Amino acid sequence: MVKDLRPLATIEDLANAVLPKTACICFFGGDPSPQMVFALKACRLALEKHPGKFLRVCWETNGNINPPYLTSMAEISLNTGGCIKFDLKAWNENLHKSLTGVSNRQTLANFAALTGYLKKRTEPPFLVASTLLVPGYVDSVEVKAIAGFIAQLNPDIPYSLLAFYPHHLMGDLPLALKQEALACQEVALAAGLKQVRLGNVHLLA
């Protein structure tokens, strides 16, 4: 058996990594939900160690989180000026299952639940969303449905459409086309959203 030689970090290690110039603790590049108890404890300890310091806590997640943990995440981000970014991968449940292996019902319910916090703080944005434009899978039809869902909750929620890059298990797919990305942006705006941007534009073909 091959031993895992990667170093392990304790809650104290993470809290102590906060430096005087640190302005944000961000969990992204891998969903924090599998380690949510650990992440929440690390955040709380870091905030305790730096009372009065401007230290935002931000999360990027697929949104498939147990509601009690979601509430804890929301309260920490709200109180520190941080945000929660949901990666809304698809609207169609079967498509979402094909891409991720799970339903999107909990994700959509959690996203809707967080809109209740929006009236408590308007700036900076507390809740934002993004969708990866996967060629052949996530197109303007999906984006229109997702954007309509968000707009009905609150049209001021920022929404980013991200250009796809072939990688890992989807390395055989092409880059997203600029024309298609612009069309997706147009349908998202037409659905009622006020803030829709294209991300990773350098990856568009």
pLDDT in tens, 139-153: 999 999 999 999 999
Q: Tell me the domain boundaries of the chain.
A: 23-203
Instruction: Compute CA distances 127 → 17, 21, 176, whole Å.
Output: 26, 25, 26
pLDDT at residue 56, rounded to an integer = 96
- Cα end-to-end span (Å), the chain: 44
Quote the pLDDT of residue 29: 78
Q: Domain spanning 23-203: which CATH class is it, in words? A: alpha beta
For 22-77, the pLDDT digits (tens) are: 999 999 877 898 899 999 999 999 999 999 889 999 999 999 999 999 999 999 99
Q: How far apart are CA 141 and CA 73, in angstroms?
A: 31
The b/e string for 179-189 (b: 16+ C-beta within 10 A; e otherwise) is ebbeebbebbe
pLDDT tens, 185-196? 999 999 999 999
